[in-house]
Amino acid sequence: MSKDQENLPVKIPRHVAIIMDGNGRWALSRGLPRLAGHRAGTENLRRVIEACVEFGVQYLTLYAFSTENWGRPVEEVRGLIRILEDVIDRELKELHKNGVQLRHIGQLDRINPSLKKKVLSAIELTKDNTRLVLNVAFNYGGRDEIIWAVKRMLADQVAPNDVTVELVNQYLFTVGVPDPDLIIRTSGELRGSNFLIWQGAYAEWYFTPTFWPDFGKEALQEAIDEYAHRERRFGQVNKK
């Protein structure tokens, strides 16, 4: 076994979801504007995506912009939308080459039509890739997702007795994606913040004080190592 293989984590979560928090504080602690923190956080994406591919994680969901983030100063909101566009412009080719399938969860309605078109064509381009499914949660909120699902179930005249967990799953943005096994939140905040509130019902949570721009491959490995030692019971008792 090579040195690198020795260091690979053992029980790998199929689906990792991340609340990439602490960009603002990372920047402020360096005397930089908040947007510089978001830029540094974006640079970090490449490291974490590559590490997920290397570790064999199959689904990665990133919380990039919440339905509540519209309440931030207008310059910051514009900057975050620009970052989404830059990521597609600069990284799409490489992501596609590396077998990453891009998906979006959330609503695209408040995003300008040309960016919306870019997002949809990136999804179309990468739809047959199988190495890693990358869900970008942009203008995403867990409650908004559930309301959207309920509205569509009513519009489809779903009978009350037909409403099951499996059926609700079919109406969520994440249709076809397994529930997250591990949800990571960086920056020391201990909250769920409206992220995957249905899908994360039995996820293992991992909190770290590290700010997102500093959360690299080793930090991800530590999170996965801790996950590997957790006992998941899904509300049942341990079968010995």
CA distance linking residue 201 with residue 210, whole number of Å: 25
CA distance linking residue 124 with residue 121, whole number of Å: 5
Q: Does 62 bind ligand FPP (CB under 6 A)?
A: yes
User: What is the smallest separation between the CB atom of 12 and ligand FPP, expressed in angstroms?
Assistant: 22
CA distance linking residue 27 with residue 23, whole number of Å: 6
> Which residue among 52, 83, 95, 122 contacts ligand FPP (CB under 6 A)?
83
CA distance linking residue 125 with residue 209, whole number of Å: 37
- Quick check: is 69 catalytic? yes
- Give me the 89-118 binding string for ligand FPP, x by CB under 6 A, dash otherwise: ------------------------------
- Quick check: is 144 catalytic? no
User: What is the smallest separation between the CB atom of 162 and ligand FPP, expressed in angstroms?
Assistant: 36
Q: By Cβ distance, which residue is nearest to ligand FPP?
A: 24
Q: Does 193 bind ligand FPP (CB under 6 A)?
A: no
> Which positions from 3 through 42 interact with ligand FPP, judged by CB under 6 A?
20-25, 38, 41-42
Please provide the distance, in angstroms rounded to a whole number, between the alpha carbons at the two ends of the chain: 32
35 bridge partner residues: none
Q: What's the half-sphere exposure (Cβ side, CA atoms, 13 Å) at 96?
A: 15
Q: What's the half-sphere exposure (Cβ side, CA atoms, 13 Å) at 238?
A: 4
User: What is the smallest separation between the CB atom of 141 and ligand FPP, expressed in angstroms?
Assistant: 13
The residue among 9 and 186 lying less far from ligand FPP, judged by its C-beta, is 186
- Give me the 128-147 binding string for ligand FPP, x by CB under 6 A, dash otherwise: --------x-----------
User: Do strands 59-66 and 132-140 pair parallel, antiparallel, or not at all (unpaired)?
Assistant: parallel
Sheet holding 182-185, edge to edge: 100-105, 132-140, 59-66, 15-19, 182-185, 204-207
User: What is the smallest separation between the CB atom of 204 and ligand FPP, expressed in angstroms?
Assistant: 21
Hey, which residues are catalytic here? 21, 69
State the residues that interact with ligand FPP by CB under 6 A. 20-25, 38, 41-42, 45, 62, 64, 69, 80, 83-84, 87, 136, 187, 212
